[in-house]
């Protein structure tokens, strides 16, 4: 999205995405246009939106931006035979039911880490 003129993004967000405020200003679209584009993609019939921790994070952001831009914040996930999946829950099920075949990294407390960056590193995925 094109940021508002009186808004500066968090420095950490710039570091993670590599998108500078200048690039967002020059190449970004308005929030309304961004919401329309995402809504158009998500409401194609028979679409399954898949993500990693999306049900607890991305879906909340999506509902919020749809609400702010006068779209039904929930319909995209169920109307027209649409659905959504969260691969984080699939990974947790794999760990619990069949952990063989995947390297499961541990956090500082010795518990399994399901953070995507930890799992990809432990399994040689770039």
Q: Exposed, middle or buried, 46 (CB in 10 Å: 0-12/13-18/19+)?
A: exposed
Residue 46 region by backbone torsions, left for phi larger than 0, else alpha for psi between -120 and 50, else beta: left
- CATH topology for 45-126? Nucleotidyltransferase; domain 5 (3.30.420)
CA distance 121 to 100: 17
Is pLDDT at 121 greater than 90 in this prediction?
yes
Which tens digits make up the pLDDT trace of 85-104?
Answer: 999 999 999 999 999 999 99
CB 29 within 8 A of CB 2: yes
CA distance 61 to 77: 13
Q: Where are the domains of the chain?
A: 1-42, 45-126
What proportion of the chain, given as a percentage, has pLDDT over 70?
100
CB 77 within 8 A of CB 83: yes
Which tens digits make up the pLDDT trace of 6-52?
Answer: 888 899 999 999 999 999 999 999 999 999 999 999 999 999 999 99
Considering only residues 126 and 69, tell me which one the structure prediction assigns the higher pLDDT. Answer: 69
């Amino acid at each position: 999205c094109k940021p508002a003129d009186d808004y500066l993004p968090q420095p950490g967000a710039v570091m993670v995405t590599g998108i500078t405020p200048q690039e967002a200003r020059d190449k970004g679209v308005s929030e309304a246009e961004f919401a329309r584009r995402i809504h158009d993609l998500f409401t194609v019939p028979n679409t399954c939106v898949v993500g990693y921790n999306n049900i607890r994070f991305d879906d909340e952001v999506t509902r919020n931006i749809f609400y702010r831009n006068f779209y039904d914040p929930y319909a995209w996930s169920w109307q027209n035979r649409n659905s959504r999946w969260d691969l984080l829950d699939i990974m947790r099920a794999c760990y619990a039911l069949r952990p063989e075949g995947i390297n499961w990294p541990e956090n500082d407390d010795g518990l399994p880490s399901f953070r995507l960056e930890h799992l990809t590193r432990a399994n040689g995925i770039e």
